A and B are shown apart, each in its own frame.
Chain A
Amino acid sequence: MFKKFALIAAGLGLGLLTACALVSPEASFARTHPQELSTGRPTCSECHGTERVKSTQKTFASLDHTTTFVKDHKVQATQDGATCASCHAQSFCSDCHGGKTAMLPSAKLGNRPDRISPHRTGYLTLHRIDGKVDPTGCFKCHGRANNEKCTACHK
């Protein structure tokens, strides 16, 4: 019994040492952006030019907050959330991606028409059309967990 335990402990110890040796010695990405940013959507490449984000090997231009980037930011968020986190607190994401939500994001952010809020007040009408055009678009949020309201009608 003791021999078995010793072997497991030795294996875990060696594994941990190997893992530590594999960890990159590079400094982490800044936890907050060092300079205050102006209001509105930032264009990272304006200041950083053709420079690359050292830790990710991507260009700063690929982080420019263009309309296209804002509408389709999932790859950036899923590959490297640390770059997002230097400017955005987690609560910024939760305004729209809230899991069980208290209200429509467009109602909560009624004073911010510049932000792209999904589902306006009349969306109950439009969802009958969107659901026919592209039902897969609804699935990410409403197909697995956040579907309490859906089940009221779609039993």
Chain B
Amino acid sequence: MRQHTPVALLAALVSATAFAQDINVYSTTLAQSWKQDTPNFDKATLLPVTEFLGIDATKLGTDALSLHLYGWGRTDLKDQSSIGGKNSGDLTYGYLQYSFDRANAEIKAGRIVVNQGIGNEMVDGVSMRTDLRGGFTISAFGGQPVIFKNLSSLPQLQPAYQRDFIVGTRLGWRMAKLGEIGVSYLQDGTTAAKDLPIPEPVDYTRRQVGADITLAPAAFLDFSGRTVFDVAKHPDALPGQDRSNIAEHDYKATGKILDNLSVTGTYLQRNFYAYYAGTTLPSLFNQNEKGKFSSNGLSVSWSPLSILNLVADVRTTKRETYGNTTRAGLDGRLTFAAQHLVLGGGYHKVNAFKVQLVDSLTPAYSVSHSEIRGWAMYEKGNFSASLDAIRLHYGGAYGDPNLNHKAIESEIVGSAGYQIAKNFKLSGDLSFADTPLYKKQVMGLLRADFRFGFAGKGGK
């Protein structure tokens, strides 16, 4: 039944476009071609054709009602390019939206993408929000979580078995000339694994409470972040097991020191047990893994000229079970508006100066590496072109079988396009990649962009 939900939604929603006074249709068709030669896998010739289709239909009888659809479908003309068969597709979102003239109030119904407080979910259901008097805001959503076909074939181990209903809400308060604070709650699933008819050790339910904050008392200062708590019921901790119910602290502060100079600091801490609660992939995101992850970051953005932006950044990470790393580097971007040219590039280096041995049977390979990238983009009249090159160098890779003893990875992508008509553009990409896993790979891509209707976003 669940598999038919997108089809039923699509059919119902597409028919609603008949009432629209203003329709935007956007389609991108991509034909790719490459030969895959991965060690330990069969060689393959791949020729997938993918269609992305979106519709924004507004003024459906009333100015406030609109319809939004977006999805994709793919078919493989030669060997299978992805898991799940030669034909695949998905309805990414499809919903009716009613936007009120007052209070930023809106209601959405259908397949929706929810971003509210701690909720970042795809849901077949309803969401709503409104501003209240006194600076308060309230939002809520509920419905059936969108689950992709995956995981075990055993019925009770399917996340769908427990993830039957998702609900979330956020209450915020906007402080005059200062910012906003909010609290939110999310529950995904109604029955814990231990309460199932046949109790299970893996729990796919999730209950979280979050608090978020944004403070911007002046244009030169901006502070934001959130803390998320895991409030689900779990089995008792094992002796010696160090647990926290704080899933995440994630904070950022930016100070604009001069008009062209700003400094940003970040702090992040995630405790594995609480953060991974409700994972549907316990083999990768192991709740019982020891410890936590934390990071501190600092970046400085400087624009010495109006056409030039430079960003220097450093980030240190600490992971109890693997060790510490530092990532540092510089990015730059040059915009020559008159020449319709943008240039960019950067260099970053990751140093894993303290890699720990997990156990005597598991070698700890270095994760140190460096990355250099340069790109250019040109667009004038009907013609556009871009070039993008990236190269990674893995330190100590000669001893690392995970990287097939190969130290260098590089890729270069060239693209050229031409706007054939006002609403139709054709472009093609050609990429050369040499990676430890794919060996040498040449990939071609043909892209056809079609746009119908121009009353869209970003002004008229």
Contacts and interface: CB of A to CB of B under 8 A. Distances in A.
Interface stretch (B13-21, B195-203, B432-440): B432-440
Contacts of B179: 57-58
A26 B437 CA distance: 57
B229 interface: no
SS class, residues of chain B in contact with chain A: strand
A102 B52 contact: yes
Interface string A81-119: 110011111110110011110110001101111100000
A134 B175 CA distance: 35
Interface in A28-43: 28-29, 31-38, 40
A51 B84 CA distance: 51
Contacts of B413: 110, 113
A148 B212 contact: no
Contact of B417 (A111, A126, A132): A111
B328 interface: no
Contacts of B226: 75
Contacts of B104: 26, 28-29, 55, 82
Given A32-B460, A132-B319, 7 more contacts: A25-B133, A75-B225, A78-B116, A110-B388, A111-B429, A147-B151, A148-B84
Nearest to A110: B429
B70 A91 contact: yes
Contacts of A33: 457-459
B335 A40 contact: yes
Interface string B283-321: 111000000010100010100000001010000010100
B222 A128 contact: no
Q: Of A22, A40, A60, A134, which is in contact with the most chain B CB atoms at under 10 Å from its CB?
A: A134
A1 interface: no
A120 B291 CA distance: 30
Given A45-B219, A114-B344, A99 B459 contact: no
B367 A147 contact: no
Interface of B: 26, 28, 30, 32, 48, 50, 52, 54, 56, 68, 70, 72, 74, 82-84, 88-90, 92-93, 99-106, 113, 115-120, 122, 130-133, 135-136, 145-151, 172, 174-180, 182, 206, 212, 214, 216, 218-220, 222, 224-226, 252, 254, 256, 262, 264, 266, 270, 272, 275-276, 278-281, 283-285, 293, 295, 299, 301, 309, 311, 317, 319, 322, 325, 327, 331, 333, 335, 337, 342, 344, 350, 352, 367, 369, 375-377, 384, 386-388, 390, 392, 394, 402-403, 409, 411, 413, 415, 417, 427, 429, 431, 433, 435-438, 441, 443, 445, 447, 456-460
A130 B150 CA distance: 23
Nearest to B414: A110
A23 B103 contact: yes
Nearest to B151: A151
Given A99-B122, A107-B32, A151-B151, A122 B102 contact: no
Question: Which of under 10, 10 to 19, 20 to 34, or 35 or more describes the interface residues of A?
Answer: 35 or more
A59 B276 contact: no
Contact of A61 (B48, B172, B174, B256): B256
B429 A145 contact: no
A77 B281 contact: no
B102 A26 contact: yes
B451 to A, nearest CB: 12
A147 B148 CA distance: 8
A108 B342 contact: no
Nearest to B74: A102
Contact of A58 (B30, B68, B214, B220): B214
A96 to B, nearest CB: 12
B455 to A, nearest CB: 8
Given A58-B216, A90-B68, A151-B151, A144 B429 contact: no
A32 B272 CA distance: 41
A143 B279 contact: yes
A145 to B, nearest CB: 6
Given A55-B131, A91-B54, A147 B177 contact: no
